[in-house]
Amino acid sequence: MPKPQTAKIGFILKGYPRLSETFIAQEIHALEQRGLDIVIYSLRHPTDRDQHPIHAEITAPVHYLPEYLYQEPIRVWRAWRAVRKQPHYRTARRVWLRDLRRDRTSNRVRRFGQALVLAHERAGSIGQFHAHFIHTPGSVARYTALLTGLPWTVSAHAKDIWTIPAWEKAEKLAHCDWAVTCTKLGVDHLSGLAPEGRVSLLYHGLDLDRFPPPPALPATRSGPFRILSVGRAVPKKGYAVLLQALATLGDAVDWQFTHLGGGSDLDHLKRRAETLDIADRCTWLGARPQRDVLAAIRDHDVFVLPSRIADDGDRDGMPNVLLEAQSQGLACLSTRVSAIPELIVEGETGLLVAPEDAPALAAGLRRLHDDPGLRRRLGNGGQQRVRTHFPLDACIAPLAERFGLDPPPVRRAAEA
């Protein structure tokens, strides 16, 4: 059974706030609503121009650690001078040096420096650290826990699981109190590296109050077939494959494609669309807040996410954008990667194809274009599945229990 939660929890995030990490913000907000006292420590300053409304509703104070040690040398030096006198310093330093011998990178040095600052500047009332992502935030959490003697826990997600070596995952999982991750695939992988019972499944879920059922739409809509995707323009999202699929549709389908999201590959994708002679049919809106995402979902005919496994092993977990699209009854076409088949039941709540298969993507799009009845059936099935199996309150309950929070009172029928 969890211990009663009385102390503050220091949440260690890679960056905050971030438009691409709504699932973390909704988790923090939901835990605050249940009474968890959170302090946020971010390894990076925000880069997005916009924020989601939920960020304004989160009351946790936010502290930024030195993003690069050379930018704040005096702050780091003062932390080292103070922390090196503490009883746990030598143990933490020994563990870090062992890690550094296996990973001789500036990143490894930076994480220990950030941990020194966090150990020195943390609020005295913090009794536990919780990292979102087992890679770099997990390193800072582990080193800080070693420096302070405090416990730490971790939520692992997607890229962080698949892009760091097994030795690092195993040692972090052996040292943390508990870990959760958002896919069955992730649980199976991490459990093979962890003490028995250390890792458990925790789906993110979706805040259905922010994604209420859409207004009734006409049975048919005039104009081109509107295809939507939301996601960062990075290799694991598979957008180059999607552009190839769109190019093969030719004139048989009058289509328009809209993409929402930032990302390092965005300019390359725009040039690729020009090369394929489909640039006039593609609209790139960049990173947008959640209200714009919701509006776009309600204004399109299908949602497509062509996820793949990138060359470095990076891949999606369970993309929240698929939950969001399905909550609005939008038919979804995606790939059999990671936890996507845990959400989408082929032929019942959406369509799935093999990753990196442009002809199969094109065939799926043509099928959805030609059969409005199929779109409606898949959209309705997806909406029902999300609302039945992935509501935020139900998904957050096991995590709240781990933090020692009491369950919310059961509402009586008159209050429902």
Three-class SS of 73-95: HHHHHHHHHHHCCCCCHHHHHHH
Any domain includes 214: no
pLDDT at 6: 61
Residues 86 and 105 in one domain: yes
Please tell me the distance from the alpha carbon of residue 132 to that of residue 134, in angstroms, as a whole number.
7
Residues 160 and 281 in one domain: no
Q: What is the mean pLDDT of residues 395-401?
A: 95
Residue span of the structural domain in which 159 resides: 8-205+392-402
Residues 157 and 282 in one domain: no
Any domain includes 1: no
pLDDT band at residue 138 using 50, 70 and 90 as cut-offs: very high
Any domain includes 408: no
Any domain includes 18: yes
Burial 258-292 (b: 16+ CB within 10 A, else e): bbbbbbebbeebbebbeeeebeebbebeebbbbee
Any domain includes 219: no
pLDDT band at residue 218 using 50, 70 and 90 as cut-offs: low
Please tell me the distance from the alpha carbon of residue 23 to that of residue 38, in angstroms, as a whole number.
16
Number of domains in the chain: 2
Q: What is the mean pLDDT of residues 87-111?
A: 97
pLDDT at 4: 45
Residues 200 and 296 in one domain: no
Q: What is the mean pLDDT of residues 16-45?
A: 95
Residues 184 and 331 in one domain: no
Residues 180 and 235 in one domain: no
Please tell me the distance from the alpha carbon of residue 301 to that of residue 221, in angstroms, as a whole number.
9
Of 276, 45, 319, 315, nearest to 160 by C-alpha is: 315
H helix intervals, 149-228: 159-162, 166-175, 184-191
Q: What is the mean pLDDT of residues 165-174?
A: 98
Any domain includes 286: yes
Indicate which CATH number applies to the domain containing 194.
3.40.50.2000
Residues 188 and 295 in one domain: no
pLDDT band at residue 412 using 50, 70 and 90 as cut-offs: very low
Q: Kindly give, in sequence order, each residue whose CB lies less than 8 Å from that of residue 282, ignoring residues fewer than 6 positions away.
A: 243, 246, 256, 257, 258, 259, 270, 273
Any domain includes 201: yes
pLDDT at 2: 44
Residues 86 and 156 in one domain: yes
Any domain includes 367: yes
pLDDT at 51: 86
Residues 32 and 152 in one domain: yes
Phi and psi at residue 158, to the nearest 5°: -140, -85
Residues 185 and 268 in one domain: no
Between 172 and 204, the more confident residue is 172
94 φψ region: left (φ > 0), alpha (ψ -120 to 50), beta (else): alpha
Residues 234 and 183 in one domain: no
Q: Among positive and negative, which fits the CA dihedral 107, 109, 113, 115?
A: positive
pLDDT band at residue 414 using 50, 70 and 90 as cut-offs: very low
Residues 299 and 194 in one domain: no
pLDDT at 409: 55
